[in-house]
Amino acid sequence: MTYRTVANILPAHPLQMGVLTVYQPLPTQRVDQIDPFLLLHHFGPVEVKAGGRDPLDVGPHPHRGFEPVTFLYQGGIRHRDSRDNTGHLRAGDVQWMTAGRGIIHSERGSREFMEAGGTLEGIQLWVNLSPEHKMVQPRYQDLKADTIPRVDLGDGASLRIVAGNFGGLAGAAQTHGAVLAWQLSLPPGVSIDLPVPEAYNLAAYLLDGGVAGSSGFENPARTLLHYLNDGTGIHLTNTAQTPARVLVLGGEPIGAPVVSHGPFVMNDQTQIMEAMRDYKMGKMGFYVEE
């Protein structure tokens, strides 16, 4: 295996969204996108009091032209959208939503979680769609934790295959492009080699600190490693005294122009104007609470 070189080390910057602190390593001024990945938000961990205020509480809003994906690590989330989908995510679940031609949705702390209280933590990832898939019909995939394939890598390390393939196993999510999303767990002191497709752009987000690459340089928590396309795999070591979690992301680059405006990601400004018009005209559906 030839190890890939880290091209950019991108620390996540905190953003305040209401009462919730969100950490954003992508996009940055240095790296606008890692094609096909457009945005990564790490929210939490935040402690929620039983019966307290919902720190998430993202009301109805539209999307078009990409796939918003939510990886829930702790807590509970309730999803509702204009296609009459309702999802209740618990720790370990993943929500893979294809906005396509347009969808309106909300995400809030689930009733069960808000009543009991606890820790809320997750990642939202925006995956771009190619020009031929920008206007596909919306799709909602509610991937429960026990349906996501898991591989034992030895020494206590494990890998959950949300999307893509690993070791002959296919991921749980259906995707429109060639994409991989793997959730890696590394015990203290354990090293691992992961083979990756040579044609894929690649990144690894470190939720927990003390993870070193093949160079031996230790990277802290909430850091995104962006790799060059110069090898067949990556090497990771947990140098901390506590377990480490890593989200490994890869995909074939789309290579098309990206023009975005708020919740819409298209290929030119005319398409953005059409998205705004279609939303106002109700062509993305109508959101109705349960």
Closest to 61 in 3D by CA, of 103, 33, 91: 103
Query: Quick count: other Cβ atoms within 10 Å of Cβ 256?
Result: 17
ω into 149 cis (within 30 of 0): no
How far apart CA 20 and CA 12 sit, in angstroms, is 15
Residue 268 to residue 157: CA distance in whole angstroms: 44
- Write down the pLDDT at residue 19: 85
The count of residues in the chain is: 290
168-185 pLDDT per residue, tens: 999 999 999 999 999 999
Specify the pLDDT at position 289.
74
Is residue 35 within 8 Å of 100, Cβ to Cβ?
A: no
Domain boundaries, the chain: 15-280
In the 8-state DSSP scheme, what is residue 228?
-
Supply the pLDDT for residue 287: 83
Q: Give the pLDDT confidence score for residue 290 in this predicted structure.
A: 65
Question: Tokens 């789309």 identify what position?
Answer: 254
H-run or E-run covering 277: helix 269-280
Contacts of 41 (CB under 8 A, 6+ apart): 15, 22, 23, 24, 123, 124, 125
Binding site for Fe cation, by residue number, is: 61, 63, 105, 107
Cα separation, 96 vs 162, in Å, equals: 9
Map residue 273 onto helix, strand or coil: helix
Residue 38 CB-density burial (10 A; 0-12 exposed, 13-18 middle, 19+ buried): buried
Tell me the pairing of strands 201-206 and 223-227. antiparallel
Q: Which residues pair with 206 in a beta bridge?
A: 223, 246
Residues of the chain with pLDDT under 50: none
Global confidence as pTM? 0.97
Partners of residue 126 on adjacent β-strands: 39, 68
Q: Which of 188, 168, 170, 162 has its CA nearest to residue 92?
A: 162
Residue positions forming the annotated binding site: 61, 63, 105, 107
Q: Which amino acid is at 34?
A: I
Confidence (pLDDT) at 18: 85
Task: Find out whether 287 and 104 touch, Cβ atoms under 8 Å.
Answer: yes
Pick the CATH number of 15-280 from 3.30.830.10, 3.40.50.20, 3.40.50.2300, 2.60.120.10: 2.60.120.10
Joined tokens for residue 3: 């190890």
